[in-house]
Structure 1
């Protein structure tokens, strides 16, 4: 980009910032002159896309004939211009009009290395392959992420400052076998003993640093392909032995066909183990795994041979009850609940109990897709959890569902960036369970002084790293010191050359980070992935 293009974009940004900061209505003629000036200059100095878009907006202004523009309304109208002029924050103007495609088939890669330069470089290279990458330098964060992300490939460095990749692998050894997760270990140490130890601990591949990146990407790609192919052939969840959600579609379709022939209704229930995160936090993930396994074993023993139990995700399960009406299903589920809560779990010298909540729906219509039945049962489950848990609710009781609130905060000192990010978050579909409230804050002080943050709701925070009064790291540290820190999911925005900030953000518990300039559609993808953690 030459000096004339840089100067034009700087002038446009200056005008946009002035309009936003003055918070007053802008005359129609002023908006027209602004666009006219951009359209004429842009084409002359080679910014053709900016010139074309400015002309289109100028024609829209001519037709509109508004006398004045509210600054927020104008920001929305000029969003494409804003995106182009903030390319140092938001990457690549050519990507602006590309459709955003977020697929459930996107490969998840967990990357662990305490060399921040290497971590950032590999994360960037992996993301260019279209993979979702969660990068961390912490053993604890890596273990937690492994359970939450369920990666398609796990890439870990052997030698790190506070622990070794072998330590992490030893801890996760049984888990990686159950989930058939390909493991790639990396090291500058190419000694035979190091390689043998890696393979004995379950590594599937071993990369020697410095890496041949083209070869490394191909090998990781092959591991991911085999993992995804393996998943597609599975009927059962590897950990619990319950059927998996892929097989749910087939069985549900069979039940609809059976209803079409015999007119016998069937029921679908969603069951959620109560306060399961507390079990993981207090007794560890391995104990949490044993609870999940025991729950499925218990259910298989207690239900009929014709019933089906599926693991839907995390601690959520689906129960399909053929030839069962809603009253019969409620009776069965309450019997299962009453018996399960008496089951004693033991960890070392401590004993504890576990319960579940359930939402159930009766299906008596061949036009009901699986998604509708799940939605109805999920609404009933929400009522059960909101009214004290450890209970079963039928969907007929859940017609007036009060949605849970999800609060999304954008903390950035640049008002234009705040506008763009608010626009982005407002378009993300978070499902029917949540009512989304989005607020923007110019700095951390304003955020913490706001009454908006004093609630028991879940929070999703996009946090700029560099701010004048209280920088992003200070905000993150204060959030994680809060006794309610689990309520907050945080994405940190950092500059590309701030290695120390990235390291500190990861140490302080940022759930993810993105370096500027970034693509809006990549940020959206990361928000969607992290939203899976919010329950």
Structure 2
């Protein structure tokens, strides 16, 4: 697809480059290489075959990285033949005469910042990027341009694009160097990276793919192919984003989405002082359901609760699975009284559900705590802590009820008990830790109850857990019969996450083992042998994180 506007831009660029270099004493070899490299890709994309072939033949004559210089006589014999390949430009292109070409292309209105189809193009070929920008914007993409690596990195972190088009050759550093700086963040946020280059070699392809790029396109390329590929990558990203915000079992939003929404609501409160309430909900005696009827039946209960909650709260709030059998409901525009009314509409239909397990039927109830957002709790941790505090007040008061947070609950925090459990098959380690922590008085608790178990199987089968109490569990990674990772998995599946902080004590110092433990749900790990002072400091920090002490 030829566009007269961009053909004129290429013509203008050739003339402008020749004029600029004519006024210089010498020109560096790498500048000449970059000129032909960019001209090859852009002219080929626009269908200017003669210029493309000429530029390709000249590009290989000059080194990509070289401080060698060429005089006017030396470089002119390579550039002047281009004049015969272009037609005179009748009008100057205002775009190229602008004092700051980066700012010309960066039109980031508030609407575009809110748009999910944001493409960042990092490429110093002005004609090429301008052409790509126009093509993509016709397909409703919001496009920002960076002509240097420095500008591109700044836009990547500030503008937060959803897809990146990155050239390998840039004036200040290579595109591969840029890729290595951003690839981890791009993976974390599921941002596809597409490398482009006029230097289409197998080595460049391998380096790009191994460094984290999703695609590698050779200049010139068909713009329809580019648009189709970007459409495909955006659909893939939407699927990724959708899958990572939903809890697979219940269909509720997951913890990650909850954390994101909580921050959004607090920002909205700080700007507009809108009403918001947070409800934390927890199924009563859920461990008994799993133990008595099995985990499959427990999953059925969780799914039924989530389905009932979504129906009862449709259009009123954001329903999330917080962890295990605990859920969260964020209710915009409602104070604590209005939030309690919403929860009451959920209680009756869920409590009336009769679950079937063989010949037996059973019913499940839930407890909930509410905290209204205000000036004194407008931080995520504080807001969640207050709702959680109210929830466990409801549990201590007999369950199957809703309690709204009040300041007098905070005064009772010092009465709480912290249980420290050591699960380790080494009797010496176990005795040392129990003895040391029995005399410990953390700043956030008045009393610590330290006890231990010789293996994971004995631990899980015991009556160690009591609703409403907090636990820090020191868990050996390698034990007979039941591996520490299996115990960790069972703890995260069967108990409220906010009630347990788990530290793995492991002789496995391999990165893969540590990553696996953290992925399953360990809060920290300590590699054996360890220093007791270091362990005490870590446990002190963990204790300070505990909510509703």
TM-score for the superposition, normalised by structure 2: 0.40
TM-score for the superposition, normalised by structure 1: 0.41
